[in-house]
Amino acid sequence: MPLQDRKQRQFVNREREILAAALELCSTPDWETVTVSEIARRAEVGKGTLYKHFASKDELLFRLMMDFYRGLLDILRTERPAEYAPISLPERLSGGPSTGLQLPESPVEGASGRQSTSPPTSPPTSPPGSPPASPLEQLRTAVERALRYHADHREYRYVVAYCDRIDFKERADQRWQQDFLELDHAFMAWASPILESGMEQGLIEPRPVDHLMLGISAAFKGAIAMIWSSEDWCPLGDKETVIVAVRDFVIAALVGRYAEPKRFSSTCEQGQETGQR
């Protein structure tokens, strides 16, 4: 192996160890008190070495958040049985047991200059010899997979919630904002063909894809807040109840009739007139 390749591999492995250490330390309620020095000690590297990889704790957390969502994108793009085993990012970062979702052999650099997965723009295909899944079945499976992915990776809840805060986004490096946008576009590129196919087949009420994605995202974020808050703080049910209820709600919303504001207003007025008679 050429010396340059060996050094590059060592650099990448060291970066994974730093990320794994940061995730371990920032997966507890007191994550905000964790310092860069503590992360360096847990990763068994010098503080100066850590800064060669990441300029700040914020950049470290941002990278963890991006890797988390890239893992989710991998789950959505991969055709798997219903009883799949979600990946564990610490294992991915540390080169642990194989989960079928390895880092790409030919990575590309995102806007931040970090290596990232180059996402395809087509939805997953059905296994050879089996009939293709309908768009609604693909979406139903995807929603459930995504919710279970979050439920099985609660160690990310503080990191993801922090990176989603307005104050974090306002001070984020411009390159990070570009990475945010690229990841959003990757999810849109995966979902749009499925939604459009569902509308073409008459399975989904015709609406702008952006509107559908907004609705799905809003329902999804609310569900994740419930799942990650644990049963103690979610009086509506355990995580399994939330997953099934939100999965079915999203599909019902896609299939159901779209109530345009004008039509909805007219219906309300008719109801009021009926009540006055």
**pLDDT value of position 8:** 86
Q: Is the pLDDT of residue 133 over 60?
A: yes
Q: Is the pLDDT of residue 132 over 80?
A: no
Average pLDDT of span 26-33: 94
**pLDDT band at residue 106 using 50, 70 and 90 as cut-offs:** very low
Out of 72-86, 106-120, 138-152, 245-259, least confident range: 106-120
Q: What's the predicted TM-score (pTM) here?
A: 0.75
More confident residue, 212 or 92: 212
Average pLDDT of span 108-124: 42
Q: Is the pLDDT of residue 1 over 80?
A: no
By three-state DSSP, how is residue 108 classified? strand
Domains of the chain (ranges; CATH) run: 1-54 (1.10.10.60), 55-98+108-276 (1.10.357.10)
Which one, of 110, 68, 115, 111, lies nearest residue 92 by Cα?
Answer: 68
Average pLDDT score over the chain: 78
Cα→Cα distances 94→12, 19, 23, 116, 165, Å: 10, 9, 12, 16, 28
**pLDDT value of position 61:** 96
Q: Is the pLDDT of residue 156 over 90?
A: yes
Q: Which residues pair with 115 in a beta bridge?
A: 109
**pLDDT value of position 233:** 60
More confident residue, 143 or 233: 143
Structure confidence by residue, pLDDT tens digits, 76-102:
988 643 433 333 444 444 444 333 323
